[in-house]
Amino acid sequence: MTRKTMLPYGLHWIDEDDIRAVSEVLRSGPITTGPKVAEFEQKVADYCGAKYAVAMSGATAGLMAACKAAGVGMGDDVITTAVTFVASAAAAAHLGARPVLADIESDTLNIDPSDVACKTRKWTKAIIPVDLAGHPAELNEIMKIAHGNGAVVIEDAAHALGAEFRGKRIGSIADMTVFSLHPPKILTTGEGGLVLTDNADYADKLRACRHHGLVNRDLNGWEYDVEDIGYNFRLTDFQCALGISQLKKLDFFIARRREIARRYNAAFADLPEIITPTEREYVKSVYHIYIIQLRPEMLTADRREIFMALRAEKIGVNVHYIPLHLLTYFQREWGYRRGDFPKAQRYYDNAITLPLFPKMTDEDVQDVIDAVRKVIARYRR
């Protein structure tokens, strides 16, 4: 029997504890730039094993601030993956740098370190690997390439809060790591982001950038200086209170995401028509999304048709993401063309994101499994 309502691909989890935590701040104040911001930052830094965490109004703001702290500007190159959300490349471009795209590894779908090595130049200022779907990128190799060329690694870990790479939590590895707190992500504050670093100079720059570039404040109660103009990228106290409350559930969120991924993997193991996600043995993915890839040679329908058939079953499938080199801006401004990244293209032509979020019931999970099996059987060659 088909579901009555569309199951979304992702959804936040807000409970009464969260609502109480936010209400308390709204009742007692301060509502922005107060103690909850510092408390949230410290708790996330401790969880991830980083020295500093700087809360931002979003991950896009965090990427901008991190690029600025890394000194990215006019004439620089910034390398990122072709398969990501536009925000990963937009920050660098806003600062006048050239977004240089690299192809992906076909198994993890993350940026291919060998392509990064090929594209690194003297003027490459930053490399922005993305932990797609919550699976960490090949950070050791990327850091080696970057540091050997004087470039900074800014990890776009919007999907990967709580993920691990070779026994270390994400947030404790790259020069700077950016998390998103947008609702479908691992943890939410409504809107919000965080930048983690072990580098005190970066942390100072990130804090200044968040608050109009102000430094050396309160010398006489009113004085400040501005060495470099910044932005208003602040996050409110009631959002940080929500973040603190959400953090208590983080391990549960991750365990539930991994459990759903395991059920999908088991249920699709006997379907050669679809490729299920790779998880390298030395990482722990947090499955922000669960992406399957179709094997077109084994099916009589293409991705579009199978996508529509799943939507007709009320499974709110999605596609993450349209590779950046296919978007008008990157073609017009930076000369990218269809055909530039064969692995990214093959991935994009066959990818479908299935619903996965902690609030899904076991019945929801079974609905997804049944719908996928039914649709694949219909189009089996």
Ligand X SMILES: *Cc1c(COP(=O)(O)O)cnc(C)c1O
Containing H/E element for 139?
A: helix 139-148
Q: Report yes or no: 375 and 313 within 8 Å, Cβ to Cβ.
A: yes
Q: Are strands 225-226 and 214-215 parallel, antiparallel or unpaired?
A: antiparallel
Check the CA dihedral 248-249-255-261 and report its sign.
negative
Any contact of residue 156 with ligand X (CB under 6 A)?
yes
**Binding window for ligand X (CB under 6 A); candidates: 1-9, 79-87, 99-107, 335-343:** 79-87
| Nearest residue (CB) to ligand X, 231 versus 379 | 231
Among 22, 79, 116, 130, binds ligand X (CB under 6 A): 130
**Amino acid in position 130:** V
- Least distance in angstroms from the C-beta of 109 to ligand X: 12
Any contact of residue 59 with ligand X (CB under 6 A)?
yes
- Least distance in angstroms from the C-beta of 191 to ligand X: 6
Gyration radius from the chain CA atoms: 21
Q: Are strands 168-169 and 164-165 parallel, antiparallel or unpaired?
A: antiparallel
**Binding window for ligand X (CB under 6 A); candidates: 9-17, 55-63, 330-338, 373-381:** 55-63
Q: Report yes or no: 244 and 39 within 8 Å, Cβ to Cβ.
A: yes
| Nearest residue (CB) to ligand X, 93 versus 371 | 93
Among 169, 182, 207, 257, binds ligand X (CB under 6 A): 182
Any contact of residue 65 with ligand X (CB under 6 A)?
no
Q: Which of residues 80-99 bind ligand X (CB under 6 A)?
A: 84-85, 87-88
| Nearest residue (CB) to ligand X, 194 versus 292 | 194
Any contact of residue 180 with ligand X (CB under 6 A)?
yes
Any contact of residue 159 with ligand X (CB under 6 A)?
yes
E strand map for the chain: 52-56, 77-81, 98-102, 124-128, 152-156, 164-165, 168-169, 176-180, 193-197, 214-215, 225-226, 274-275, 283-284, 290-294, 351-354
Any contact of residue 193 with ligand X (CB under 6 A)?
yes
- First CA to last CA distance, the chain: 25
| Nearest residue (CB) to ligand X, 299 versus 324 | 324
Any contact of residue 210 with ligand X (CB under 6 A)?
no
The gap from C-alpha 149 to its chain's centroid, in whole angstroms, comes to 25
- x-or-dash string of contact with ligand X, 241-270, rule CB under 6 A: ------------------------------
- Least distance in angstroms from the C-beta of 156 to ligand X: 5
CA distance 58 to 67: 14
Contact footprint for ligand X (CB under 6 A) = 58-60, 84-85, 87-88, 130, 156, 158-159, 180, 182, 193
